[in-house]
Amino acid sequence: MTRRSITKCAAIATATAVVALGTIGTVAATAGPKAAVKHAEPTKAQIAGLFDTWNRALKTGDSEKVASLYAKDAVLLPTVSNEVRTNHAQIVDYFDKFLQSKPVGKKVKTIVDVLDSNSAIDTGVYKFTLTDKATGKKSVVEARYTYAYEKIAGKWMIVNHHSSAMPEKK
pLDDT digits (tens, 9 = 90+) for 66-120: 999 999 999 999 998 999 999 999 999 999 999 999 999 999 999 999 999 999 9
- Rounded Cα–Cα distance for residues 128 and 80 (Å): 11
Q: Output the pLDDT for position 61.
A: 97
Q: Kindly report, residue by residue over 18-62, the tens digit of the pLDDT.
A: 444 444 444 444 455 544 445 689 999 999 999 999 999 999 999
Q: Kindly report, residue by residue over 1-23, the tens digit of the pLDDT.
A: 444 444 444 444 444 444 444 44
Among 107, 91, 94, 103, CA closest to 61: 103
Q: Output the pLDDT for position 19.
A: 41
Q: Band of the pLDDT at 167, cuts 50, 70, 90?
A: confident
> 121 to each of 53, 67, 100, 117, 160, how far by Cα in Å?
15, 18, 28, 12, 9
Asked whether the beta carbons of 142 and 127 are under 8 A apart, the reply is yes
- pTM (whole model) above 0.85: no
Asked whether the beta carbons of 59 and 144 are under 8 A apart, the reply is no
The CATH fold of domain 44-165: Nuclear Transport Factor 2; Chain: A, (3.10.450)
> 15 to each of 11, 20, 33, 45, 128, how far by Cα in Å?
6, 9, 29, 48, 67
Asked whether the beta carbons of 97 and 120 are under 8 A apart, the reply is no
- What is the arrangement of strands in the sheet containing 155-165, beginning at the earlier edge strand? 70-77, 155-165, 138-152, 119-131, 104-116
Q: Output the pLDDT for position 168.
A: 80
The residue extents of the domains of the chain are: 1-40, 44-165
